[in-house]
Amino acid sequence: MSESFRGCRGRKVISRASASDLGVVSHLLVDTQRRQVAAVVIGSGRKTQLVDWGGLSGFGPDAVMVADEAALRPPGDDGERAAADGKLELVGKKALSDRGNELGKIDDVTFDADTGTLEDLIIGDRRIPAGSLLGCGSYAAVLEERQEDLG
């Protein structure tokens, strides 16, 4: 099933083992090299916690299920801390082609809820395959330039 970054923001995160409420999804951490959701960021500020994609038992339409609370961990390094603060969030980021031309602002990103694989980047009325994503930082997301995306 296809999910979107915007659509899952604020979704409940529940422990499968204890059925307890662990918080809500604030961001998704993306592995730009593999074009995958790497982890789910829960909460914000100092209480931020991460669950790696492999620690989920299901990314459902009503709740994100974490296999076990032991899978929760704090941000591991500066990169993850920046991601947890939303600085690397794809949605809302300026999209820049690798040729140095602006393509617009990323409005949403879709991904496969079963595998976490990114599908499309939505910029205005265009859908750009996530395969063109080359990198994402605090300034911009960089996409491989295709002629049809310009203009």
Q: List residues binding other proteins (CB under 8 A).
A: 93, 96-102, 134-142, 145
Rounded to the nearest whole angstrom, what is the least distance from the CB of residue 32 to other proteins in the complex?
A: 8
Rounded to the nearest whole angstrom, what is the least distance from the CB of residue 106 to other proteins in the complex?
A: 11
CA distances from 41 to 44, 96, 126, 128, 146 (A): 8, 25, 27, 25, 32
Q: State which residue, 60 or 86, has the beta carbon closest to other proteins.
A: 86
Q: How many CB atoms lie within 10 A of CB 66?
A: 25
Q: State which residue, 17 or 140, has the beta carbon closest to other proteins.
A: 140
Q: How many CB atoms lie within 10 A of CB 122?
A: 19
Q: State which residue, 7 or 137, has the beta carbon closest to other proteins.
A: 137
Written as one string, the DSSP assignment of 96-124 is EETTS-EEEE--EEEEETTT-BEEEEEET
Rounded to the nearest whole angstrom, what is the least distance from the CB of residue 142 to other proteins in the complex?
A: 5
Q: State which residue, 24 or 134, has the beta carbon closest to other proteins.
A: 134
